[in-house]
Amino acid sequence: MTSDTDWHTITIRIPFASAKHAEIALQAIQVDPELQPHAVKRTLSVEDDVLIATFDTLTVRLARLTVNAFLENVDLVVRTLQEFGPAAAQHIHV
């Protein structure tokens, strides 16, 4: 994405219980922009039930911080889905 070879790229693939959950995670996390958009480029996408996140960062330190924050957000979303997913699904079948 850039000719500058100093950029660091990290790709994370996170499997979810369903494609719907992966899509929810993407949409919920996508809303908050990266705090340093000039130094961190984030691309989120969903393939079946897998959330794919790609980060391009200017420094290694930013790579660590960004991925750490992203995983914490994923953790929170996953726990919320785990807690309320069954209740949300139940109603649809009624």
Partner 1 sequence: MPFPNRASSSLNSIIHPTDLPAPMPGRLRQTPLKNPDRPYLAIGLEGSANKFGAGVIKHLEDGSTSVLSNVRHTYITPPGEGFQPRDTALHHREWALKVINECLDKANVSMHDVDCICFTKGPGMGAPLQSVALIARTLSLLFNKPLIGVNHCVGHIEMGRDVTGAQNPVVLYVSGGNTQVIAYSRQCYRIFGETLDIAVGNCLDRFARVIDLSNDPAPGYNIEQEAKKGKRLLPLPYATKGMDVSFSGILTAVEAYTFDKRFRKDGQPKDANDQDIITPADLCFSLQETIYAMLVEITERAMAHIGSKEILIVGGVGCNERLQEMMRIMAEEREGKVFAMDERFCIDNGIMIAQAGLLSFRMGFETPLAKSTTTQRFRTDEVHVSWRA
Residue 15: enclosing H or E segment and its boundaries? strand 8-15
Q: Which range touches partner 1 (CB under 8 A), out of 3-11, 29-37, 41-49, 59-67?
A: 29-37
Among 10, 54, 65, 73, binds partner 1 (CB under 8 A): 73
The answer to whether the beta carbons of residues 47 and 33 sit under 8 Å apart is no
Q: Which of 1, 31, 38, 93 binds partner 1 (CB under 8 A)?
A: 31
Options 16, 22, 24, 55; binder of partner 1; rule CB under 8 A: 24
DSSP state of 35: S
C-alpha 18/C-alpha 46 separation (Å) is 11
Instruction: Please identify, using beta-carbon distances, which residue of 10 and 85 lies nearer to partner 1.
Output: 85
Q: Sheet with 40-47: list strands edge to edge.
A: 8-15, 50-57, 40-47
Instruction: Give the footprint of partner 1 on this chain (CB under 8 A).
Output: 24-25, 27-29, 31-33, 72-73, 75-77, 79-81, 83-85, 87-88, 91
